[in-house]
Amino acid sequence: MRWAVLLGLEAQNDTVTSKLVEILKAQARLKPDRSKALELLTPPDVSSRKGLVELKTIAVRRGLWFKVLNALERAVVDLTIKVVERVRSSTLKDVLRSIASKVVEALRARSFKERAMTIGRVLVERIARIAERLGNKRAREWAEDPSFVMYLGVSWLNTPPMFRHAL
């Protein structure tokens, strides 16, 4: 009833209210799920077929399957998915873990936040050194502030390449 009043609709019956509830629920379903994005940065369980299929799906969708993994590594994952339901061999598990860590590291390297933090750390160290030389005694604390590091990294990444200074 409140939504109808806020939108200027006269809600004489429950049909208008129910329609608004349906619309709001549909909009809520369209919002991206942030929890799935965080799960991508942790390696999936490689001891099961389900985990390997998830790893392969993520790698293919992100364009990492052919860029990061060589033909032998791709073949190991593909054959394990086709042949084995649950991996019991410790040697095969170690190989699959190393493959999964390669994919996860490539995912981390491609994430905007990770790149911004890496670049921001370099920039904040440089700025803090200059400020210390100029006499600012608290400049070392700047390097420990993650929001300042993120700010500098995002600023550098959003600067057109033509105007960026070298790192």
Half-sphere exposure of residue 29: CA atoms within 13 angstroms, side-chain side:
6
pTM, full prediction: 0.51
- What does the block give as tokens for 109? 């390297």
Above 60 in pLDDT, residue 31? no
pLDDT tens sequence across 41-80: 577 788 899 999 999 998 999 888 999 999 999 999 999 9
Cβ-contact 117, 149 below 8 angstroms: yes
